[in-house]
Amino acid sequence: MERKRVVLVTGSGSGMGRESVRLLAQKGFKVYAATRSPEKLTGAFEGDVTPLYMDITDPKSVEEAFCAVERLDILVNNAGYGLVSTVEELDEKQMFDQFNVNVFGLLRVTKHSIALMRRERSGVIINISSFLGKIGLPLLTMYNATKYAVEGITDSLRYELADFNIRVHSVMPGFFDTEFARGNLVTNAETFSEESPYACMVSNLAPKIVEQINRGNDAEDVAELIYTIIEDENFPARVTVGDKASKFIPMRKELSDEDFERRVREYYDL
């Protein structure tokens, strides 16, 4: 009997992570649903799903979680959040926390996953990045920076792991209707204060971004795409998904920096 392929999904508690766990379990995978609240996932899925406590900001937590994972075929690095702040009003903790989850956490999980995959000389790593890993937006500078970093990690790992038959891919979603705007956006109090020198920009831009997220594409689209990447050995290095990503990424490639910036300014009335 053919053995089940094993997949680990971080950030499984909601949104894209939760839908990915659901779909992959339905497709017959053995799924480790990594989250800081595994009790909330007990009995939530049909199929072979094991809720797994993992705090990706804590190296010890990641290491202990992997003690329960004997073999791994696919890793989906989905966990992340977005900080909304100007650079001037950032504090040191906010800067570190944003990178600790979106970049360092991703690297911690990837590091342990590679060891398991390299042993089998086979594997797939899928990094859930963002279209904001290729373009900038004000107020999202730190989030942008982390997703640019994820794109760089993806590119470099593709070289580093090719000899071990481990594929590495990046998925760049646009704005999706998940819990992101409601639970995974962290705002800087100074930036959102009426006394902030950026108050005009915040009052204009922030509501537009939140509305676009809440009216965005369905998280199931990302889950379906993840399954397609797993099944297609010749899938491209990266792919966009969602309306905003499909609009902005091709435009970014076609235009000069200055022309693209002008288009973004016009689109968001900056």
| Closest CA relative to residue 157, chosen from 229, 231, 106, 208 | 106
Gyration radius of the chain over CA positions: 19
Alpha-carbon span 191 to 158, nearest angstrom: 38
Helices assigned H by DSSP within 162-256 = 180-183, 199-214, 219-231, 243-254
Alpha-carbon span 181 to 161, nearest angstrom: 34
Catalytic site residues? Answer: 143
Q: Report CA-CA distances (Å) from 183 to 81, 230, 233.
A: 9, 29, 35
Token digits for 264? 């973004």
- For residues 74 and 4, the answer to whether their CB atoms sit within 8 Å is no
Backbone angles phi, psi at 125, to 5 degrees: -115, 125
- List the Cα angle 258/169/78 in 5-degree steps: 90
